[in-house]
Structures are given as C-alpha cells and as structure tokens.
Amino acid sequence: MALDRDTGRILQGAVRGTGLTLADAYTLIRGGDDALPALLAAAGDLRDRGKGRTVTYSRKVFLPITNLCRDRCSYCTFRKDPDDPGAWTMSRAEIREWVARARAQGCKEALMCLGDRPETAFPSYLATLRSWGHASTVGYVREACEIALAAGLLPHTNAGLLTADEMRSLRPVNASLGLMLENVSPRLRARGMPHQYAPDKEPARRLAMIADAGRLRIPFTTGILLGIGETPEERVDSLFAIADLHAAHGHIQEVIIQNFRSKPETAMATAPEPSAADLARTIAVARLLLGPDVNIQAPPNLSPADHRLLLRAGINDWGGISPVSCDYVNPEAAWPMIPTLARTCEEEGFVLRERLTIYPEYVQPQYLDPALAPAVARLAAAIDSPQSLATEDVHAYGAP
C-alpha cells in the first residue's frame, strides 16, 4: 500500500538527517500497520548509517541488592515490604559469592538493582544497614560496587532517584549509572494510575536526576516503558525529553525501549501488553527522533518471538544478558541463549558482539573515573581476545 504524502515526506527527511519535529513524530507514532514496513526500513537505514550492522550486548550478573522499596507501582512484583514472603537484602557474603560465580562465567558487568530509598520507609531495614556500618542504602551499594570491582567486574547501578552528591559518591566505583524515565507525563501519577503511590516516579524529579548526571559527566542509561497507560503522544514527549537532555549534556549512552509485561497479583494483572507492532513502531520512531548515533536497546527476554522485528526496527543493542542470574524484575522472562541470539542476528545480516557496561564512545577521561580506567582497559582487551568467554557456547540463565 502506498504511503500517504505526509508520512512519505517525514520518512524521507528523517533518513536524510533532518530529524523529526514533534508534529512529525506524532504522525509516525499514530501510523497504522500499513505504514509500518516503510517506517522500519527508514529506521533501519538510519541505524546502519550510524552503527553499521553490529549489535551488542553486555554479559552481566544481576545483583538485586534489596527488593525493599518505598514506592508501590501498579505493575511491579520486584518490590517488597520487610515482612513479605520473598523479601531480601543481599549480605556481603552473598554479593561476593555471586560476583565470583559471575566472573568465572565470563561476566564483565555487575548490575546493582534495588528499590527506592527503603531506609526512609522501613525502620527494621535501617537498623540492619546501621549494624553493617552504613547510614544509607547508597553507602551499602557503594561497598557492593567495591566488592564487584575487586572481583574483576564493572558495576552499573540503578538505585532509583539519587541526589547529585550520591551520584558523585558512586561515580568512582561505577562505569555507568541508570534510571528509567519511563514516561514524562505527570498524568501517570494521578489517582488510579500506575504511579499513584510512587513518589519517586514524579517525572520532574527523574528528569532533574538525569540532568545532574549529565553535569557530572556520568555515562547514563535511561529509557521509556510502554503499555502502562500512556498515550502514543506521551511516548513521543518522553523521547523528546531524553533527546533534549542528551543535546544539553551528551551523556545518554543508551536508550531502552521496554515493553510492559503483565504479572499476576498486581493491580495491572489484566492490563493489555503492547503488541509487537506497537513496540517496533515506537523503536523506529525513537531511532528517527534520536538519530543514527544514539544506542537504542530493547530487552530480548521480554520479546522472545520478535527478535528479527526488533532488529529491523532500528535497535543496535540487546542490553544485559546473564549466564548466572535471572531478570529479577521480570523473573518469568528467561534470557535468550547467546548462541541462539547470535544466529538470529547473523541470519538478519548482523554481527553480535559483546560490550562493556560503558559504551566505547564514553571511554574518555571526561566520562570515565581514572580509578576505573585500568579495569575498563583489561576487560575491553578480554572482549577482543579470541579466548573471550563471550564466544563460548554457553546458555543464559532461565527463569528460576
């Protein structure tokens, strides 16, 4: 089917490098399935221009430092109260055990993931922190990062909202930091919406943290979450907000386009998940909006049947994949087997290559703390070595 004149004009301009206006992006995100092939082709062409035909991933261990959280998002099964079944906080011994196992399996990233500021909500947890010699979760996370570094892994921390001072304290022990914007619309915090009981999901506060990270020259991962009640236009607004932050500071090393997965026993258990076409359309619009040089990721375990479609939509990265730990935020979604993913990429004309948690373009003095430079150089050399474990026929860890 022929494209309408507006869509054709917008796609031609985007491929030529003129970018998208807000109105253009709205037109594309509202487009029907008949326009999807042309949209994906344009996004793929732009990706090839900036990234070539190499698609990357990070070989990681997912360390859920604590699943206690003061927020209550309507779709989350990760967060717990201290007395809930399955509540945990990892001990130093457990962290050491997991990072040693991860290093033995060729992992190079230690993803520190946890709930938002549980010490402000749970006195018993604060007492535990104090008994371990820490006054805050951030202090304990810094120690966890030091343990990971000593074992030969590069930490990447996603600890929710952090102050500039907290990020400054974590910078010497983290190759990168992250915070999902999720969506820029304050409407999602209204009564009955998914972030009603999640004060740390206030968009203005998340945007402020990402900006602070830029001023601190911290390589940063962010992204949007599809299917939590946002409109297509609010997705575009969120992508423009990320683009503006990157234009101001140049520190957004990766943008994740993540699809909501419904889970039993949550308030959104029956909420519809985004379709594969909807996810691909949003990825393609993100590529055309953000341009050829930004790294765009879609988690492969959340769309196991759609890897080829996501490649065609314009991604150039699969994110972290672990041979030793599950995705604790989406434990029902097993990581793909790395050799299988590599074959899919090859069949689509791509090469799958391992990367570090800090992207190569950010391995520069202004972004990388000097204390981390030797570890980054050593691990980058391990990836380039023919003996790298990333090339071995090992399986990623499935759901527990």
Give the model's confidence band at 237: pLDDT under 50 very low, under 70 low, under 90 confident, else very high. very high
Contacts of 312 (CB under 8 A, 6+ apart): 40, 41, 44, 280, 348
> What is the distance between the alpha carbons of residues 97 and 58, in angstroms, rounded to a whole number?
20
Residue 303 included in any domain: yes
**Average pLDDT, integer, range 276-286:** 98
**Average pLDDT, integer, range 155-180:** 98
Q: Which of 156, 161, 194, 164 is nearest to 179 (CA)?
A: 161
**Amino acid 393: pLDDT:** 34
Q: How many alpha carbons lie under 13 Å from residue 66 in its C-beta half-sphere? A: 27
> What is the distance between the alpha carbons of residues 215 and 209, in angstroms, rounded to a whole number?
10
Determine which helix (DSSP H) or strand (DSSP E) holds 51, and give its type and residue range: helix 36-51
84-117 pLDDT tens trace:
999 999 999 999 999 999 999 999 999 999 999 9
**Amino acid 397: pLDDT:** 39
pLDDT surpassing 50 at residue 394: no
Residue 72 included in any domain: yes
46-77 pLDDT tens trace:
999 999 999 999 999 999 999 999 999 999 99
Contact 247, 210 (CB under 8 A): no
Q: Which of 169, 266, 384 is nearest to 155 (CA)?
A: 169
> What is the distance between the alpha carbons of residues 24 and 11, in angstroms, rounded to a whole number?
9
- The CATH number that applies at residue 262 is 3.20.20.70
**Amino acid 2: pLDDT:** 58
Tell me the H-state helices in 52-136: 92-104, 123-131
**Average pLDDT, integer, range 249-260:** 98
Residue 358 included in any domain: yes
**Amino acid 399: pLDDT:** 32
Which amino acid type is present at position 241? A
Number of compact structural domains in the chain: 1
Residue 6 included in any domain: no
Contact 161, 114 (CB under 8 A): no
Residue 354 included in any domain: yes
145-165 pLDDT tens trace:
999 999 999 999 999 999 999
Residue 400 included in any domain: no
Beta bridge partners of 296: 255
C-alpha gyration radius of the chain: 20
* Furthest-apart CA atoms within the chain: distance in Å: 67
**pTM for this model (two decimals):** 0.94
Q: State how far the alpha carbon of 269 is from the alpha carbons of 14, 264, 273, 341, in Å.
A: 38, 5, 10, 29
Distance, CA of 207 to chain centre: 16
Contact 38, 284 (CB under 8 A): no
Question: By mean pLDDT, which of 52-56, 134-138, 326-330, 352-356 is the weakest?
Answer: 326-330
Tokens at 176, concatenated: 């990168």
Residue 80: how many other CB atoms lie within 10 Å: 19
Mean pLDDT of the chain: 94
Residue 23 included in any domain: no
**Average pLDDT, integer, range 331-354:** 96
**Amino acid 400: pLDDT:** 29
Residue 341 included in any domain: yes
Residue 129: how many other CB atoms lie within 10 Å: 18
Domain span at 291:
33-390
